[in-house]
Each structure stands twice: as C-alpha cells, then as structure tokens.
C-alpha cells in the first residue's frame, strides 16, 4: 500500500536512492602523500591528531601515528606505541628481515589488536572507531592499532525498571560492557553474539544475542533477515531498529520489547528469545514479544510466589481499570443509570448538580489535563517536575470542583485511572489511546460502544503476531502448562518447561519435581535434565 | 442523507479497489462492483423510503403456499 | 483462499457460540412452557441425524467445502443451485442475528439511536474479523465464549435467591403434538451447524469434525437447557409472555438492594455471541460466494456482502413478534431442505456415483 | 501480508471515526438532567376515567450526602423538602407520565422507582390497565412494590417518613422488613403479574394507610387486600394476614402472644421460623387439603410471674401457641373462602399432586374453593428461653 501511495505521489524514486559508498583508495609509499589522503578524508578538524616521529631501526624513518583525540587511551599510545618505536627500537641493532611493517607488528608493538590494511576506507573507519593508524615512510601499508578508550557512564540501576529486591545493575551506552554483563549472567558457551554494523553514517554496532540450543534457529534467521533489510543512515537508539523490524508497524501494541536490565535479558534469552544490542544506548530489544510480558515484572520472581501471584492479579486489574474506568463511568452516568444503586445515584446526582458540561466532555478534558501534567512532570528536572505535577493536580482538581466546573466523581475517576495506568508501564501508550477511544464510544453508544471498541481491540490483538508467535499466547491459543506464569506465578521449581510458543526446540528447563522435600525422600532422586541425557 | 450514503460507499470503493487493481484481480473487481452496486441501490431505496418486502413474510408465504400445494397443513 | 487452520476444539467452541448466538435471547421451544428444557434435550437428539449426515458427507470428501462437493456431485448447474440455496440460508441466518440484536437494543438500552448506527457499528467488527480469516475468528471466539460461560454461571448464582423450583412443575403442560413441534423447532436450530460444512476443510485434523460438532452441540444444549431452567424457575408462568425471557430474568436480579438491574451485562454478553454468529455467517457467505464464482480471494466480497446483510437485517421482519412466530412455525420447515434433504440426497448420489474417485481428494 | 492487514485496521478506524462524526448521542441522558422518580401514586382524576398519577421525585440537591461536594444543590429551589410531589393527568398511565414533562424541567426517570401506590377505587376497577405500562416499558424495575391505599395515593406519597429523607424509600424498606412482624404481605410487581397468569391462584396486596398523631401524620401498613383476578374484592386484617403468611411459609419472625390459663399476665413467644407443607387428597370425588405448619421459636418475654422454665410448662406453651396459629390460619381461610379467592395457591398444589382431578375442576375452581375442607395441623417448638432461666424474682415474694 505504501508503495502504491509513493507511486501515486511520484515519490517512488526516493526509495531507489541509497547512500553512496566511498570506493577504496590505495595507500602510497610516501608518508606525506598518505597523510594528505587522510587529511582530505577527515578534513583538518582539531581533534584529528597526527604525531610525527622518527623511527630508527637500522636507518632513520619518518613515521606518524594518527588518531582522534578523545576516542583513544593516551596511556596505550605512549606506552605501547611511541615508547617502543622511539626508545626500545634504538637500544639494539635489529636485523630487519621480511617486510618492515610486519617486523614492527611482530617485534615492537605491545598492543592487543593490530591489523594491517592498505586501503583508505578501512583505515579511516578504524580511526573513526578509536584506533590509531601507524604510517611509516616507504611502506604502502599501515597498521590500525586498537587504542580505543573513552569516557563511559558507570553501571547504575535503570530508572525506568526499578526493582525492590534483585540486582541493581542496568545496561550502559557501551555495547561491549553490555555484552560483558550478559556473559557474566550466562556463562554458557551456547550464548552467541552476532555483530553487524547498521546505519550508513553512524555505522552503529548492533549485535544479535541468543543461546544456541534453546533458541529456534528459524527465529534467529528471521531476525537476521529483518536487520539486513534495514537501509538507513542513522541508528541512535534501540527504537530506531524496532520500528524497522516489528511485525505490525501500525499497531499501537509493542511487538518488540525493551529492557535495560541484564537479568531480564538473560531470563528472556534462556526462554529462547533473541536480544538485539545497539551500541550507544542502554536499551536492548528482545523478540518475540508476548502481550503477557508487560505484566511480568522481575520482582515477580524475587518475591514469594503467592505474593507475586497476587501482585500480578492486581496488575491485570489495574490495567483494565486504567483502560475502562472512564468509559464505564461515562456509560453508567449517561446511559445506564439504572445500574447505580438508588442512594448512590441520588448522591452522585447531587454532586453533579449545576455542572455545565456533558460528562463525556468533563472526562476527556480532565484526562487531557492529567496527560499534560504527566508530560510536564516527566520532561522537567525531577524535583521541579514532581512539585509541578502534584501542585497542578491538587490545585486544578480542587479549584475546578469548588468552582463547580467539574463534578467530584469525575475527578475521583480520573485520578484513579491515572494511578492505575502507571501500574503497567510498558502498555501505557496503548492505555492512553484505548482509554480515549473507549470513552468517546461510551459517550456515543454507552456500554454498547464500549463493547464494540473492545471487540475491535480484541480482534486486532488476536490477529497480531510477533516474529511468528501469536501475540496473545499462551492465552490464545491456549496452552495449559504455560498458565504457570500467566494466571498464577507458580514456585520456580514447578516451572520446569519453557514457554511453548517460544522455547520449544528445548522445552525442558529443569528436572521435574524438585519441590523441597525431607532429606530421606530426596535421597535417590535423579535431578539431571531429561533432554541432556538424550543429547 | 443520500449524500452521506454516496459518501460512505465512495469511501469503501476508494479503500477496496486500489489493492484489487494493483493485483490485477479483475474477476474479483467485477463481483465486488456488482454487489456494491446492488447494496448502493437498496440503500438508496431505503433512504428514499421505498417499501421493500420483508424476508420473513415472503418466506412464510412461499412455504405455506408450498405446504398447501403439497396438501399438507401449514406449520 | 484461506491460509488459516483451526483445531477441532476451536471448531466445537465456534459451534457453541453459533448455536447460542441468538437462541439465548428468544429461547427455542419456549412454547413448551416449563418443558422448554425437555424440548431442547429432545431437539438435540433429533439434531444428531442431520449432523451425522453432513459430517459423513464432509468426511467422504475430505478437504472439500460444501460448494465444491455440490459441484463435484451434481455437476456445475444443479450444484451451483444447491450451493446458492445454502448460501442464502446462511446469509439469512446472519442477517437475522443482526436484526434480533437490533430489536433487543431498540427495545431495551438504546431506544432513540437509529438502527443504522447500531447495525454499522456491529458490522464493522464483523467485517474486520471476517477479513482476518477463520483463524482469528476462532481465537476471538475462544475469549468471548470463556467470558460468556463465566457470566452465565454468575447469572445463575445471582438469581438463586429468587429461584423457585415449584415453577418447574408440571414439566409437560402442553399437548404432545405441540411438544413434538417445539422439539422439531429446537432441532432445526441445532441443525444450523451445517454452516460449518464450509469450515471443515480448514480443520487441522479433518477426520475429527463429527466429534467436534457433536461436542459443540452437547455443550450448547446444556447451556441452553440451564438457561431455560433458570428462566422458568425465576419467572414462572409469566416467562412465556416476555419476548426476551432471559433478559427479563436478569432484570429481576436483586442482591441486597445494591446489585440490581444488571441486565446490560448479559445483553452485551449475548451480543458477543451474536457477533460471532453474524461473523461466521458473513465469513462463510463470502467464502462460499468466492468459491461459487471461483475467485482467488474472498476478501473483496466481504464488505459488499456485509452491507447487503445489514440491509437484509433491516428488511428481515416487520416486528419482532412476527419473527418469533417465524422461528416457531416456519423455520423448522424452511430449514429442512438445507439441513437434511440436500445433504442426504447429495450423499446418496455420491455413494451411487462412487464419488470421490481415487486421487480426487487425496 | 502484514502491511495489508494493518491497512485494514486503519481503514476500519477511519470508517468508525466518520461514523461517530455523523452520529450524535441519541440516548444520552445526563445525570443532572434527570428527575429521579422514587414513588408513583395512581388515582382517578376528578372527571371520568382518566388517571391522575403523582410522582415523588427526589430533589438530589436537597438530599445532602457526604458524597456530594457541590454547594446548595442547584435547581432545587431553596425548599427544604427533599422530595417534590408532581401530579399529572392522562388518559393512560404512559400518557400521564409524558404529560408530567409539561411541568417538570427534567426528564422523568422511572428506573429507580421503588413503590407504586394505587388508590382503592382504581384497584376495585382492576389493576391490569395500570400495571401493563410498568411491565412493558423497559425503564421501571420489575421488583418495585405494589401497595393499595384507601386514601388518595398522592396523600400517602406526600407523607413524611420519620427517618428517611425520601418516604418512598422508607415504604420500600418497610416492605423488605415485612418479616419483623410477619403481618405484611409484601408483593412486588413481578410476583403480582406472575400470579395474574396463574390459573387458580389469586393475588393479595398490602394496604397502606395514614396514622395521625396530634401534630404529625405518618404512614402505616394496615391490612391486606384480596384480589379476584386483578380486582380488589376483600380485606384480611393483620391476624388473617399472618394466617396467610403461615400457609405461604413466609413467616420468618414476629411474636405470638398467649395467655396462660390460671395465671394473670401474658407470654410473648418469638417466632424463629416456620415451614408449611400443603398436601391434597382426593377421596370419592371430594378434594381435601391438609396444611402442615412446623414452627420453631423461643420464649421472648413474660409479663406473668410464673416460672415457665420447665419442660411441661413449655410444652403447654407450645400447645397454646399452636392453637393461636391454627386460629389465625383458619380465620384467613374463612375470609378467603368468603371471597371465593384461592389466595393460598391450593389449586396449584392440586395441579402438581393429582393432575387428573385438577383437569376436571380447574375451570370452576372459584366455585369449588369455598366448599373445600382444609385441615390445619401445626407443630410448634420452643427451643430457646432467651438469656433467662426463670423470671428474675424470688419465689417467696409471690
């Protein structure tokens, strides 16, 4: 359809055009010319440093180290490049055999990553990535020496996903740190990362993470395919990818999940999902995503299972309240007054005496006010934000009611809705959309309108898929054994299979029947995992 | 009112037809346009207040007629 | 034409909703007064005949829909004629269920709202889900049927305090002939499952169709019987003078003078079932039309047929009571050819002509 | 695929939005624009057969409740009365209801109507024309209470209740708590209509009247009216009313007062609950009924000095109580048979128990009923004595 529109508006050619790729220039053997090449590629911006020096092996050679200031670790450059080349090299008379560059690489440089290249693009890319390039006069090859090192944010707890118990660490902007954190969680050789660079200009490092043997190979293939498809010039955040790879781009429901927590990522990988790390953002995409995941919080597994179950029910309740409460309120007070008990009805009528607007308008307006306050609170610096939202809410709530512009019940309903909508953070955006739509429908057709709205939503949800997995599973299609983590949160020793719809290649997660028992019963029990035995 | 009806049907056509054309589903297009036309016709009649026959009544007549023809007692 | 596949349990659930879709509102065989539940039971037994006939037919031509079977057995012209009658029947069912719910809403909840709005807003969901295909219909139905059953149980508990078992007796108050007729009436309602002849090909295990349908029938019958018992138990004599007995029963709910007038909930709940009925009818009609005219996809005809369906809904009957009479007196006969005669003679001819020849369906 | 599917989604919403834009809100009735009717009174108008219907409408503004934060309830007009009695005339009830909107600024909302009070004359002419609207229309609730009054219905509705702000609610609560005395036959609309359809059973409705104290007037449930089909034809006094309730098995509480032979003072025995079992026998063409009533109660109070806490005394009391109950039931029976009205539903028991006989007699049941012979058997128990074993008084004083 999009293609159709594009053709209609004669924009089709835009899609053909793709960013131009620089062709590979070869190095010369003369140092100055090479440096000139680099200058024309990189321009002479102040942060491009060229350190000239003379390397004297058997005879003096003009050389230069080229790097970008701020991307490199000074210590490494001095200790492992300049010092050996300028000082160590003098000490004894070398018998240089073979190619000079190779000789230097083999005998002098005491750095981990060194690779040889004779074309500009690779070298420029290396320099931009924080390596430093060693050029020696007379050689038409150069060494890209890895001297990466820059300021990093330290590991802190993510503000978006706080837990009461459980680990306090969250991902950082550095992809290596993040992958390392994941490795620390999963010390299994099966954990694989696949690196690729996406974004013509940003050249962002993106790596797919999955646990071989648990994950469904087809899924990984699908993720690869979708990522390869992407042809954009910048990737600055995980969302830049997820919008490209999600199944239902127009659906308000997230078909790719986000998290900033290593423990959550690890858990999801071990269920058979795939994680997508993006360099430069602490947010990690995981797929496939189920609707139910929005209601599963890391703390569910850190607390006692009865409590966790209760909390989960509370979450379901809150989600539905957040979506339905205003609509129900409108429907009840403008269409189905007979449902309200008589005394309550009379007192509500008393409260609404002399309120000028229809209740729909009231509800929608108050909802809008609340959203404004919330947005203001989020964007502003935290202390100011809180004061603003609180004061604003209080003042507006109080004043409007006192002035008789809005009935007290409306304010109560909106407040309750607002609080409820915060309980399930990942579904908030949908919450807002659905709430508004349903409220309008309720205002026009009453409960029937609500029903129509809910039906459409339900149909949409049932038709959604995330990387081939039905979005509503394990509820629809129903799989009984997966209810262990949906309706209730059973004890961990009882969750002995992985989610049917995702981790099916290796369904068995742990030995069956490990419920703690008295020692003598436990005695001759075999706890090894069935599917390990078979291979 | 008529205008609204036309508008609605126009909307449906705009929404449905392009994809058919793009996929060269000519046969489907014909069927679609036939049904749509009938629908439009009937809707216009209804909006103009033309008395259309009721289905149940017709069927009742038909079946009782048949029953008598076959000499059975009507249900 | 249709990529989706559904499991046999999903089929049974679909059958349940299809059967109780409208029947919940105008309960079948209510002319049998206290004996309603009995007529439903007998009707279930009688309904096994058509069900067995057409499921045998379906099994014989595994993977073929009724339309294709007709073409195979009767040849192009006669086959298409039969298919046309069948499609008309389903189309009529769909429009009727639309009409009934409009009637319900116009008399109870939304008096002033023009029918068109109700119809269109209902039609939207039906078109939407029908375009998504059978798989989505089945899954949506799973949720709705779950809610329905829960609400039914709830409804039972809520009327326990006004339930009077004496109202259930004497069971048979009407002459036996009327009882039999009522039985025929309810059985003809159960026979509506013939609609699934178009859906059998999309079962993932085709042989299981008979079992699935019968399961559906039984559960639906149980639900209907329980609601009939509930209605007579609560309303007593007056129940037969109401148009929507079930609705009236819920109007009487009164728990501690606070939980009262809950009728809107069951109304919406029945509405979901009616939605499924209309959707399945719309889907099957479109699919059938597409097969009849050998189109490549049924999706383009969904919207036009939907519109025709709601037009038919407005033109279904002059008033609801006349429709009740129709369901009571005419429908049992009207349904006979589609539900029993056509499938039966098709089956016989197929046996005579030794169809399907080998390699025609496998 | 995905793309087209999603496109379908968008399309639908577009359609829906347009639909909504086209549509107004037809059935919307804003809460503050409703006149919440709590009670309906039905009288004959002055001239001819047209009705005067009076509506008791709650002035929500005046009914101050903690929930309501809006000051001085808007349109109420400073009148301190928390209800507004609106009278309107009409050829039919519905007509009158709609005519009421000629006077009321707000739409009359019947869904919360609690009681329907009907004037005696109307009841004698027949209730069906009155209640049909109440049953047919979707707004009124089926479990609203029906009452008959000898006064004008409007005067009853205009009475003030001692405790409640809205007297109709008070009446409704009276009906709900009928069992405290078991001297009220509380019938709601649905039950009444159901009984109308019954072949043999006749209806009974409570009669509400006015009790005058020196300064103010209050309402009181006086007795019970007997109906023949839908026409009021006779009355049961309180005693007979309880007799009726005994048979219907609706007696759950209340007090039976007996006098001890030979002692001065009375003993009031509290009823804890009663069951009734009705069985019909047909022998040589005569139909006999037997009503078994089993009652359990306690010693509630004694105004005599005797020490009653001995088994034989108690069994004596039990017998006395049984006698009283039998009297009550027989009184009710007598009255019913005078009126030729089978208010106990004996006919239905006959229908259930021996069908053939019923088939024969069902058509002239009204003629047959007065001559039925009905045996009343009562078994009573006194299981509890309250908190005292014997009267708090020394033996030797008396």
What pLDDT digit, counting tens, does each position of C200-249 carry? Answer: 999 888 788 889 999 999 999 999 998 888 888 888 878 878 888 888 88
Write the secondary structure of C43-93 as one string of H (helix), E (strand) and C (coil): HHHHHHHHHHHHHHHHHHCCCCCHHHHHHHHHCHHHHHHHHHHHHHHHHHH
Task: Return d(Cα C90, Cα D116) in angstroms, integer.
Answer: 47
pLDDT: is C76 or C355 the higher one? C76
Looking at chain A from residue 209 to 228, which residues have their Cβ under 8 Å from any Cβ of chain D? none
**Closest by alpha carbon to A352, among D74, D63, D165, C258?**
D74
Q: What is the pLDDT of residue A375?
A: 82
Residue D3 binned pLDDT confidence (cut-offs 50, 70, 90): very low
Rounded percentage of chain C residues whose pLDDT exceeds 90: 35
CA distance B57 to chain C (A): 7
CA-based nearest residue in chain A for residue B17: A1
Task: Return d(Cα D125, Cα D229) in angstroms, integer.
Answer: 11
Q: What is the pLDDT of residue C186?
A: 87
> Around A431, how many Cα atoms within 13 Å sit in the side-chain half-sphere?
24
Q: How far is CA C172 from the centre of its chain?
A: 26
Residues in chain D with CB shorter than 8 Å from the CB of C124 are: 12, 15-16, 19
Note the maximum CA span of chain A: 105
φ, ψ for residue A45, nearest 5 deg? -75, 150
Residue D12 binned pLDDT confidence (cut-offs 50, 70, 90): low
Which pair of tokens denotes residue A9?
Answer: 């508006």
| All chains having 3 or more CB pairs closer than 8 angstroms to chain A | B, C, D
Residues in chain D with CB shorter than 8 Å from the CB of C113 are: 26-27
Residues in chain D with CB shorter than 8 Å from the CB of A401 are: 69
Eight-state DSSP code of residue A50? E
Q: What is the pLDDT of residue C327?
A: 86
Task: Return d(Cα A456, Cα C207) in angstroms, integer.
Answer: 33
CB contact under 8 A, C128 and D351: no
Residue B31 binned pLDDT confidence (cut-offs 50, 70, 90): very high
CA distance D86 to chain B (A): 41
Residues in chain D with CB shorter than 8 Å from the CB of A359 are: 30-31
D79 has pLDDT over 80: no
Measure the CA angle with vertex A75, ends A73 and A79; round to 5°: 130
Give DSSP secondary structure letters for D24-58: --SS---GGGEEEEEEEEEEE-SSTT-EEEEEEEE
Cβ atoms of residues A174 and A152 within 8 Å = yes
Domain definitions of chain D by residue range:
30-236, 239-398
Q: Of A245-249, B57-61, C275-279, where does the model show the most confidence?
A: C275-279
Task: Return d(Cα D130, Cα D40) in angstroms, integer.
Answer: 11
CB contact under 8 A, D114 and A342: yes
Interface test with C, best of A446, A448, A453 (most C CBs within 10 A): A448
| All chains having 3 or more CB pairs closer than 8 angstroms to chain C | A, B, D
Residues in chain C with CB shorter than 8 Å from the CB of D350 are: none
Task: Return d(Cα A336, Cα A329) in angstroms, integer.
Answer: 10
Q: How many CB pairs under 8 A join B and C?
A: 86
Q: What is the pLDDT of residue A529?
A: 55
| Interface ipTM | 0.86
Handedness of CA A37, A43, A48, A54 (dihedral sign): positive
Task: Return d(Cα A274, Cα C235) in angstroms, integer.
Answer: 59
Q: What is the pLDDT of residue A108?
A: 81
Interface test with C, best of B56, B72, B73 (most C CBs within 10 A): B56
Residues in chain A with CB shorter than 8 Å from the CB of D7 are: 1, 250
CB contact under 8 A, C136 and A463: yes
Q: CA dihedral defined by D130, D133, D135, D137, rounded to 10 degrees? A: -160
Instruction: Calculate the average pLDDT of chain C.
Output: 87
Residues in chain D with CB shorter than 8 Å from the CB of A348 are: 31, 67-68
**Closest by alpha carbon to A455, among C250, C244, C314, C136?**
C136
**Closest by alpha carbon to D355, among D303, D306, D287, D294?**
D287
Handedness of CA A44, A50, A54, A59 (dihedral sign): negative
Which pair of tokens denotes residue D269?
Answer: 């025995």
Cβ atoms of residues D327 and D232 within 8 Å = no
Note the maximum CA span of chain D: 103
Which domains are delineated in chain C? 8-352 (1.20.1740.10)
Which pair of tokens denotes residue A474?
Answer: 């394990």
Q: How many CB pairs under 8 A join A and B?
A: 5
D15 has pLDDT over 60: no
Q: What is the pLDDT of residue D17?
A: 57
| B47 shares contact with chain D (CB less than 8 Å) | no
D9, D27, D61 member nearest A250 (Cβ): D9
Residues in chain B with CB shorter than 8 Å from the CB of C321 are: none
CA-based nearest residue in chain D for residue C133: D5
| B22 shares contact with chain A (CB less than 8 Å) | yes
D398 has pLDDT over 80: no
> What would the mean pLDDT of C85-99 be, rounded to a whole number?
93
- Which residue do the tokens 């998504």 mark? C132
Which pair of tokens denotes residue D61?
Answer: 């503004």
Task: Return d(Cα D230, Cα D364) in angstroms, integer.
Answer: 18
| All chains having 3 or more CB pairs closer than 8 angstroms to chain B | A, C, D
Task: Return d(Cα D77, Cα D82) in angstroms, integer.
Answer: 11
φ, ψ for residue D293, nearest 5 deg? -120, 125
Looking at chain C from residue 240 to 299, which residues have their Cβ under 8 Å from any Cβ of chain D? 241, 248, 251-252, 254, 257, 260-261
Question: What is the SS3 assignment for D173?
Answer: helix
CA distance A14 to chain B (A): 20
Which stretches of D284-348 are assigned E, i.e. beta strand? 286-302
Residue D70 binned pLDDT confidence (cut-offs 50, 70, 90): very low
Q: How far is CA D97 from the centre of its chain?
A: 23
CB contact under 8 A, C296 and B27: yes
CB contact under 8 A, A459 and C128: yes
- Beta carbons within 8 Å of D347's beta carbon, 6+ residues apart: D198, D199, D200, D201, D358, D362, D365, D369
**Closest by alpha carbon to D60, among D27, D32, D88?**
D32
Task: Return d(Cα C79, Cα C68) in angstroms, integer.
Answer: 8
D4, D7, D15 member nearest B11 (Cβ): D15
First to last CA, chain C: 19
Handedness of CA A355, A361, A367, A371 (dihedral sign): negative
Of the given ranges (A516-525, C107-116, C207-216, D367-376), which has the lowest mean pLDDT?
A516-525
Angle between helices B26-48 and B2-22 (to 10 degrees): 180
Q: What is the pLDDT of residue A17?
A: 46
C18-40 residue pLDDT tens:
998 888 877 766 677 788 888 88
- Which residue do the tokens 């009522």 mark? C182
CB contact under 8 A, A338 and C268: no
Sheet holding D286-302, edge to edge: D255-259, D266-283, D286-302, D373-384
> Which residues make beta-bridge pairs with A511?
none
Of the given ranges (A134-143, D34-43, D184-193), which has the lowest mean pLDDT?
A134-143
Residue D394 binned pLDDT confidence (cut-offs 50, 70, 90): low
CB contact under 8 A, D70 and A333: no
Task: Return d(Cα A525, Cα A531) in angstroms, integer.
Answer: 17
Which pair of tokens denotes residue B42?
Answer: 């009937």
- Beta carbons within 8 Å of A221's beta carbon, 6+ residues apart: none
Spell out the per-residue pLDDT of chain A, length 535, in tens. Answer: 445 544 544 444 444 444 444 457 788 888 888 888 888 888 878 888 888 888 877 677 888 888 888 888 888 888 888 888 888 777 766 677 777 888 888 878 887 788 888 888 888 888 888 888 888 888 888 888 888 888 788 888 888 888 888 888 999 998 989 999 999 999 989 999 999 999 888 889 999 999 988 898 889 999 999 999 999 999 999 989 988 998 888 888 888 999 999 999 999 999 889 999 999 899 999 989 999 988 988 888 889 999 999 999 999 999 999 999 999 999 999 988 888 888 888 888 888 887 888 888 889 888 888 888 888 877 777 777 777 777 777 777 788 888 888 888 898 999 899 889 888 888 888 888 899 889 988 988 888 889 999 999 999 999 998 998 999 888 888 888 888 888 889 888 888 888 888 867 778 888 877 888 777 766 666 555 555 544 4
Cβ atoms of residues A233 and A243 within 8 Å = no
- Beta carbons within 8 Å of D135's beta carbon, 6+ residues apart: D142, D189, D193
H helices of chain C, where?
Answer: 8-23, 36-60, 66-74, 76-107, 115-132, 134-159, 176-190, 209-235, 245-251, 264-292, 299-314, 320-325, 331-336, 342-352
Residue C75 binned pLDDT confidence (cut-offs 50, 70, 90): confident
A335, A408, A460 member nearest D9 (Cβ): A460
C308, C323, C333 member nearest B38 (Cβ): C308
Task: Return d(Cα A263, Cα A166) in angstroms, integer.
Answer: 9
Residues from B contacting C (CB-CB < 8 Å) are 12, 16, 20, 25, 27-29, 31-32, 35-36, 38-39, 42-43, 46, 52-57, 59-60, 63-64, 67, 74-75
Task: Return d(Cα A498, Cα A506) in angstroms, integer.
Answer: 8
**Closest by alpha carbon to C279, among C300, C302, C297, C299?**
C302
The model carries a pTM of: 0.86
D8, D23, D351 member nearest C128 (Cβ): D8
CB contact under 8 A, B11 and D18: yes
CA-based nearest residue in chain D for residue C238: D194
> What would the mean pLDDT of C257-261 be, rounded to a whole number?
77
**Looking at the domain covering D239-398, what would its CATH class be?**
alpha beta
Question: What is the SS3 assignment for C277?
Answer: helix
List Cα–Cα distances, D245 to C302, D236, D239, D249, in angstroms: 62, 11, 10, 6
CA distance D30 to chain B (A): 28
């Amino acid at each position: 359809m999009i293609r159709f529109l594009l053709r209609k508006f004669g924009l089709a050619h835009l899609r053909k055009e793709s960013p131009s790729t620089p062709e590979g220039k070869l190095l010369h053997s003369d140092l100055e010319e090479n440096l000139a090449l680099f200058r024309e590629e990189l321009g002479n911006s102040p942060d491009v440093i060229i350190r000239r020096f003379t390397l004297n092996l058997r005879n003096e050679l003009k050389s230069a180290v080229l790097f970008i200031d701020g991307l490199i670790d000074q210590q490494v450059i001095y200790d492992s490049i300049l010092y050996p080349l300028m000082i160590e090299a003098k000490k004894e008379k070398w018998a240089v055999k073979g190619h000079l560059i190779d000789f230097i690489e083999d005998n002098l440089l005491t750095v981990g990553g060194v690779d040889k290249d004779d074309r500009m693009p690779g070298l420029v890319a290396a320099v931009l990535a924080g390596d430093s390039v060693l050029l020696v006069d007379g050689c038409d090859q150069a060494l890209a020496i890895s001297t990466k090192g820059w300021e990093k944010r330290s590991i802190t707890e993510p503000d978006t996903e706080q837990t009461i118990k459980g680990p306090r660490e969250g991902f950082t902007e550095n992809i290596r740190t993040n992958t390392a954190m994941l490795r620390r969680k999963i010390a299994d050789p099966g954990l694989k990362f696949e690196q690729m660079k996406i974004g013509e200009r940003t050249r962002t490092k993106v790596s797919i993470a999955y646990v071989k043997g648990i994950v469904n190979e087809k899924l990984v293939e699908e993720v690869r395919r979708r990522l390869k498809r992407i042809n954009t010039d910048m990737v600055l955040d995980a969302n830049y990818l997820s919008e490209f790879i999600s199944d239902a781009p127009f659906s308000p429901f997230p078909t790719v999940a986000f998290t900033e927590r290593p423990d959550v990522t690890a858990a999801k990988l071990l269920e058979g999902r795939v994680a997508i790390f993006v360099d430069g953002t602490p947010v990690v995409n995981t797929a496939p995503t189920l609707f139910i995941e929005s209601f599963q919080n890391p703390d569910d597994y850190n607390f006692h299972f009865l409590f966790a179950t209760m909390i989960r029910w509370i979450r379901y309740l809150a989600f539905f309240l957040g979506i339905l409460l205003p609509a129900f309120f409108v429907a009840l007070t403008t269409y189905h007054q007979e449902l309200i008990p008589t005394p309550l009805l009379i007192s509500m009528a008393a409260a609404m005496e002399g309120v000028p607007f229809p209740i729909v308008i009231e509800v929608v307006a108050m909802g809008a006010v609340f959203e404004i306050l919330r947005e203001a609170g989020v964007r502003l610096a935290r202390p100011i934000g809180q004061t603003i939202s609180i004061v604003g809410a209080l003042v507006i709530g109080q004043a409007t009611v006192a002035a008789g512009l809005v009935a007290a019940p409306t304010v109560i309903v909106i407040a309750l809705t607002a609080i409820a909508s915060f309980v399930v953070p990942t579904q908030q955006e949908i919450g807002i959309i659905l709430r508004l739509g349903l409220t309008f429908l309720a205002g026009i057709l009453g409960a029937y309108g609500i029903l129509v709205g809910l039906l459409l939503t339900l149909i949409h949800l049932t038709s959604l898929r995330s990387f081939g997995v039905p979005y509503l599973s394990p509820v629809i299609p129903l799989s009984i054994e997966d209810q262990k983590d949906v309706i209730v949160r059973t004890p961990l020793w009882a969750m002995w299979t992985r989610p049917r719809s995702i981790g099916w290649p290796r369904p068995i997660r742990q030995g069956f029947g490990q419920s703690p028992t008295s020692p003598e019963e436990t005695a001759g029990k075999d706890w090894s995992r069935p599917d390990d035995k078979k291979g | 009112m008529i205008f609204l009806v036309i508008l609605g049907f126009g909307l449906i056509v705009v929404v449905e037809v392009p994809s058919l054309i793009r996929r060269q589903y000519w046969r489907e297009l014909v069927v679609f346009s036939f049904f749509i036309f009938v629908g439009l016709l009937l809707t216009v009649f209804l909006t103009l207040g033309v008395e259309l026959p009721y289905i149940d009544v017709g069927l009742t007549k038909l079946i009782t007629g048949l029953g008598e023809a076959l000499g059975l007692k009507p249900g | 034409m249709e990529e989706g596949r559904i499991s046999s349990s999903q089929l049974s659930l679909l059958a349940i909703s299809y059967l109780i879709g409208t029947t919940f509102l105008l309960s079948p065989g209510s002319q049998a007064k206290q004996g309603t539940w009995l007529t439903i039971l007998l009707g279930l037994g009688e309904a096994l005949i058509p069900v067995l006939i057409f499921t045998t037919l379906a099994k014989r031509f595994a993977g073929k829909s009724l339309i294709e079977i007709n073409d195979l057995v009767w040849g192009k012209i006669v086959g298409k004629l039969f298919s046309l009658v069948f499609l008309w029947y389903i189309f009529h069912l769909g429009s009727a269920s639309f009409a009934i719910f409009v009637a319900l809403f116009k008399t109870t909840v939304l008096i002033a709202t023009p029918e068109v709005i109700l119809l269109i807003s209902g039609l939207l969901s039906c078109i939407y889900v029908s375009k998504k295909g059978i798989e989505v219909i089945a899954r949506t139905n799973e949720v709705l049927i779950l809610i329905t059953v829960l609400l039914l149980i709830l409804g039972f508990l809520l009327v326990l305090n006004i339930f009077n078992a004496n109202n259930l007796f004497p069971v048979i108050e009407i002459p036996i002939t009327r009882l039999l007729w009522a039985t025929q009436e309810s059985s003809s309602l159960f026979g509506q499952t013939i609609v699934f002849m178009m859906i059998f090909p999309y079962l993932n295990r085709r042989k299981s169709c008979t079992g699935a349908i019968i399961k559906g029938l039984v559960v639906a019958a149980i639900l209907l019987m329980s609601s009939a018992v509930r209605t007579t138990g609560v309303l007593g004599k007056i129940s037969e003078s109401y148009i929507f007995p079930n609705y009236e029963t819920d109007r009487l709910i009164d728990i501690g003078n606070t939980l009262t007038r809950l009728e809107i909930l069951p109304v919406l709940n029945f509405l979901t079932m009616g939605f499924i009925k209309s959707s399945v009818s719309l889907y099957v009609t479109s699919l059938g039309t597409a097969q009849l005219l050998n189109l490549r996809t049924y999706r383009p005809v969904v919207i036009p047929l939907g519109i025709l369906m709601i037009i038919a809904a407005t033109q279904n009957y002059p008033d609801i009571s006349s429709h009740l009479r129709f369901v009571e007196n005419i429908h049992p006969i009207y349904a006979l050819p589609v539900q029993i005669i056509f499938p039966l003679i098709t089956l016989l001819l197929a046996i005579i002509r030794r169809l399907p020849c080998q390699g025609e369906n496998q | 695929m995905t793309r087209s599917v999603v496109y379908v989604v968008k399309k639908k919403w577009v359609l829906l939005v347009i639909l909504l834009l086209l549509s107004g809100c037809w059935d919307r009735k804003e809460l503050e624009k409703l006149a919440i009717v709590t009670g309906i009174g039905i009288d004959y108008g002055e001239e001819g057969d047209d009705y005067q219907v009076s509506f008791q409408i709650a002035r929500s503004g005046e009914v101050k409740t903690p929930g309501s934060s809006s000051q001085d309830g808007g349109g109420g007009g400073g009148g301190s009365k928390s209800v507004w009695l609106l009278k309107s005339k009409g050829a039919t009830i519905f007509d009158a209801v709609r005519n009421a909107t000629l006077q009321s600024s707000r739409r009359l909302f019947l869904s919360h109507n609690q009681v329907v009070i009907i004037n005696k004359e109307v009841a004698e002419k027949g209730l069906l024309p009155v209640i049909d609207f109440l049953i047919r229309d979707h707004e009124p609730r089926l479990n609203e209470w029906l009452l008959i009054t000898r006064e004008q219905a409007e005067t009853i509705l205009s009475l003030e209740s001692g405790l409640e702000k809205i007297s109709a609610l008070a009446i409704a609560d009276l009906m709900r708590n009928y069992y405290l005395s078991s001297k009220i036959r509380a019938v709601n609309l649905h039950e009444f209509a159901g009984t109308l359809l019954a072949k043999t059973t006749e209806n009974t409705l409570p009669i509400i009247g006015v009790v005058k104290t020196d300064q103010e007037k209050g309402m009181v449930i006086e007795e019970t009216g007997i109906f023949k089909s839908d026409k009021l034809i006779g009355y049961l006094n309180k005693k007979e009313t309880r007799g009726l309730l005994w048979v219907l098995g609706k007696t759950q509480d209340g007090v039976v007062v007996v006098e001890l032979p030979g002692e001065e003072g009375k003993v009031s025995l509290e009823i804890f609950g009663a069951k009734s079992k009705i069985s019909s026998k047909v022998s040589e063409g005569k139909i006999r009924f037997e009503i078994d009533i089993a009652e359990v109660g306690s010693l509630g109070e004694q105004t005599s000095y005797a020490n009653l806490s001995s088994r034989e005394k108690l069994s004596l009391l039990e017998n006395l109580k049984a006698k009283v109950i039998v009297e009550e039931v027989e009184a009710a029976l007598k009255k019913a048979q005078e009126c030729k009205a089978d208010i106990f539903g004996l006919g239905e028991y006959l229908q259930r128990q021996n069908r053939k006989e019923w088939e024969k007699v069902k058509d002239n049941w009204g003629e047959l009923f007065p001559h039925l012979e009905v045996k009343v058997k009562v078994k009573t128990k006194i299981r509890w004595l309250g908190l005292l074993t014997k009267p708090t008084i020394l033996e030797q004083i008396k």
